Structure 1
């Protein structure tokens, strides 16, 4: 019995810290609805692997402020903190806490619509160029019969009905992203629209600052139907509850609810939809700043990519960072949260990208998956794990974009009403087959498309020389910085042998 007691004490002292260390700490996140469907996929996958994550999809401004107020462990946004703050959307507390941007997936804003033709049949072929979209959402074009809309649909007129615009109530990062595109696509109409609504809920916006809220009063507000979240907008379109309407939302919602989406003309003169191959083609021309935030001007306008969908953008995770930039400071007081979020982001960077094309996104290119590991390194104070095809399931490491990446055939091209892929109006040459887009390595069939481009074309913007991620020291002392469980484990390693010896001496002394 005495020997059993000794063994029991040894097991208790030796195993208790390890068992406690194995209990993963839950992390919570909040913010962008743009990335909501992807986050839902990621949290389900992470939870099934023992990484406890809970994400709430509200809006980017809400997530940025909750992150800054420390009511959540990470935020999600597709609009930078500076633009949200300058536009009156907060973000100051995030500046105090410190943060780093971590690109987590490539996505796109779909232009969804509910329109019928003169005979009452549903229109499923709507084509719009960038300027026409800009003028529609700036209320410069107000009727479906407008000649600009007719011209982009091969001369097929739509009924003379007023256009109802669908958008988000309150502040929204998707609104900010979409109206950044509008500002670049129809600058004159956009400027007039913003000035007209400065006192109607949009506020006085400095040059270059994105609006994050639509008019809530005034003459333009009459023609908006605003909904509280992305799900409601997609549902309104798919259910045809708002006749002759048009709205914007991340493509994942259009896929989920089978809402018609417009073919959008890019800078090369080709009409495309926001499938993964077209998102990846567009984002090759994103410029990533040193802090990994994105400049999308060349994405909106680039004339070199026939397959590009021009309203494409990355989404970010915002999490603490202990070194690197003015705003990149601080960490988690709980080492368990550091362990959980770094495990979560590694899952997102690799296994989490496998399903993205199927649900309405495009997987991260290899260099940005590596940036997730570099971000983890800055937070955890450890060397960055180097990703490759042998240790990362992200399809871009394996020559493609994953199932569902291919775009459908353009019905107006098939009918000979407008020019085909890669052709500008009035030209006689084409750059490739329908749906061609970027990939790596040898030809790889993805969905309905064959992909044949070079490996480095999957860089999707940014540096092709991965940024250095030097090991970071925590900026505060105590076991919160070193890691509480690490301290306990070290304590157990030192103390357990002494405790066991003391127990044995005590037992022998009583014999």
Structure 2
């Protein structure tokens, strides 16, 4: 059985998290994190913080946005509410990043999931939504943008940044183009036309992907990075599931999607820089890529907007197209109890425990420890 995003295996795993015994969840929290976002120490002699007791919390959180976060949010919700039985969390993945931010700015959501940090204009608009303190971007979810394809008879494919950019810019139009064959010695590539599939809705996944294209190949990918697909090449589809399903239904198709949403789709290995090393997605590879390429570029006090420079990803152990997703929330809530509840849930997400749950149930990559610590610090100040 598949869900509306077409993520059979991943969604089932996330749903299964709801059956985790409370004792098991608390044991995991106790041995790995205090649940507030402070990462566990790597030294065996250091004392380990006690688990946070969420059992007294109650209320309902209403949120939505990023479909990339959907499987992780399902797992996080199940694990958190196993400890906080009086809490209900509604996360609407159908909105996508753009819709999630819009609904949050309109005051409909307690927080929004987005694969692109708030823009400068949105950050300013948040002062209307939240009051003068405004909002903050909190990194919560790390994955990778996978280049998925469907080409009969071809189960393995290497692509480099220039070739990917030329395909999605419409400059390479057949699968046996010399640029592709040169990267795939021993693979028989047909003359099948290439059918590009991209997002039609405002998408943070698109923002992450186009950031990579523009940074790596600015002479080919001349459009600026952004949440909207910038050209008329190929077929636009709603949501990550729309891209995945359209690629899977065709032959000669190629698209991009968050790794956690691709299901059984075949993904290409991508060259790291100009190293000649072609890397498949891995959790460790995504963490390594953010460690190498990401720095905090705060838009305000406590904000954790991350600037990613993919040209700094040079290790063959790193996956070259990282996808970093945020939850955005107000720094000060009109209802302080709602602010406390929102901060508690997001604190659980960014804790060592929450990151392990996201990795186990959604194939997410753990955020680097420094990002977990910064996120916990910001969330501790939410009012």
Give the TM bin, normalised by the shorter chain: 0.7 to 0.9
Which sections of structure 1, spanning at least 5 residues, go unmatched? 1-20, 195-208, 322-330, 381-511
Instruction: Give yes or no for the alignment of 1:367 onto 2:370.
Output: yes
Instruction: Give yes or no for the alignment of 1:224 onto 2:255.
Output: no
Distance 2:101 2:127 in 1: 10
What SS does the corresponding residue of 2:138 show, helix, strand or coil?
A: strand
The equivalent residue for 1:75 is 112
Distance 1:128 1:137 in 2: 12
Aligned residues of 2:347 and 2:376 also touching (Cα < 8 A): yes
Instruction: Give yes or no for the alignment of 1:28 onto 2:34.
Output: no
Offset, 1:148: 0.8
Equivalences for 1:231-310 in 2 at 5 Å?
231-237=241-247, 240-254=248-262, 257-267=263-273, 268-285=275-292, 286-290=294-298, 291-297=303-309, 299-303=310-314, 305-310=315-320
Aligned residues of 1:279 and 1:309 also touching (Cα < 8 A): yes
Equivalences for 1:454-473 in 2 at 5 Å?
none
Aligned residues of 1:114 and 1:243 also touching (Cα < 8 A): yes
Aligned residues of 1:66 and 1:72 also touching (Cα < 8 A): yes
Larger Rg: 1
The equivalent residue for 2:342 is 341
Distance 1:186 1:76 in 2: 29
1:482-508 CA deviation, whole Å, 9 max, x = no partner?
A: xxxxxxxxxxxxxxxxxxxxxxxxxxx
The equivalent residue for 1:102 is 138
What SS does the corresponding residue of 2:170 show, helix, strand or coil?
A: coil
**Structure 1 or 2: larger strand share?**
2
Distance 1:106 1:300 in 2: 18
Distance 2:202 2:371 in 1: 28
1:276-315 CA deviation, whole Å, 9 max, x = no partner?
A: 0111111111122233212221x34432x12111101321
What SS does the corresponding residue of 1:141 show, helix, strand or coil?
A: coil
Distance 1:22 1:309, change over 3 A: closer
Query: Where in structure 1 do 4 or more consecutive aligned residues deviate above 3 Å?
Result: 90-93
Which sections of structure 2, spanning at least 5 residues, go unmatched? 1-54
Distance 2:378 2:282 in 1: 28
Offset, 1:92: 5.7
The equivalent residue for 2:77 is 43
Distance 2:173 2:81 in 1: 47
Distance 1:169 1:95 in 2: 29
Equivalences for 1:62-141 in 2 at 5 Å?
62-82=99-119, 85=121, 93-97=125-129, 98-116=134-152, 121=153, 123-141=154-172
How many residue pairs get matched? 314
Offset, 1:112: 0.5
Distance 1:23 1:342, change over 3 A: closer
What SS does the corresponding residue of 2:207 show, helix, strand or coil?
A: helix
| Residue 382 of structure 2, aligned match among 376, 379, 382 | 379
Aligned residues of 2:208 and 2:322 also touching (Cα < 8 A): no
Distance 2:135 2:279 in 1: 35
Distance 2:62 2:270 in 1: 36
Distance 1:103 1:23 in 2: 23
| Residue 200 of structure 2, aligned match among 164, 169, 172 | 169
Q: TM-score, normalised by structure 2?
A: 0.76
* Two-structure CA RMSD over aligned residues (Å): 2.1
Equivalences for 1:433-448 in 2 at 5 Å?
none
Aligned residues of 1:69 and 1:94 also touching (Cα < 8 A): no
Distance 2:124 2:249 in 1: 39
Aligned residues of 1:300 and 1:311 also touching (Cα < 8 A): no
Distance 1:295 1:174, change over 3 A: same
Offset, 1:114: 0.2
Instruction: Give yes or no for the alignment of 1:214 onto 2:229.
Output: yes
1:187-228 CA deviation, whole Å, 9 max, x = no partner?
A: 12212xx4xxxxxxxxxxxxxx5232236xxxx63x522221
Distance 1:245 1:185, change over 3 A: same
Offset, 1:111: 0.5
Distance 1:71 1:184, change over 3 A: same
Aligned residues of 1:296 and 1:313 also touching (Cα < 8 A): no
Offset, 1:99: 0.7
Distance 1:301 1:147 in 2: 28
Q: TM-score, normalised by structure 1?
A: 0.58
